[in-house]
Amino acid sequence: MRQLTRLMIIDDELHDIGFMLQFFEERIPDCAFETFNSAEEALARLHFTEARGDNPPLPDDPDIIILDLKLGAMDGFEFLRTLRGDEHTRHIPVIVISGTDSPKAVDRAYECGANAMFRKPVSLEGYRAMIGSIVDYWQRTAGHAAA
C-alpha cells in the first residue's frame, strides 16, 4: 500500500493550518508537510520556481493538496483551474475545505477539478474528524490501487 508521505496545505488562516497539522501528525507522524498562505506561492513551488512556504520544500509533488477556497488575490477556484490546466500537476489530488457548503460553491469546486470537498470545521473535534476521514479514505483507496 502506498503511504501518505507528502502533504501540502494552502490556507490563509494560520490557526486552521495549525489545527490540520496537529491532527495529520497524530494520524501519520512520518508525513512531510509544506504549508502556504497563498495560492500563488503554492503554484510557484509546484512549478519548481522559488519555494517560499513555511516549511522546507518537499523533494517531489505532494500526495495530496488541502486547499481553502477563500484566499488572497488568487482564490482556490483559480488555483484548481491552473493546477488542472498543467500537464505536470493535474494528477495531484486536491481536497477542498471551505467555510461554505452552498450548492453553487460545491458544484464550482468540482467543476474546477476538486477531488473532494469538506466544510471547514468549527471545532477541534471537527478538525480531528475531517482529518481522520481524509486519512482513512487515502489508506483505503491506496490499498485498492496497490492490489
Condensed to tens digits (0 to 9), the pLDDT of residues 19-67 reads: 999 999 999 988 889 999 999 999 888 875 554 555 555 567 888 999 9
Domains in the chain and their CATH numbers? 15-146 (3.40.50.2300)
| Cell 502556504, residue located | 36
Q: In this structure, what DSSP letter does residue 84 have? A: H
| Cell 475545505, residue located | 97
- pTM for the model stands at 0.86
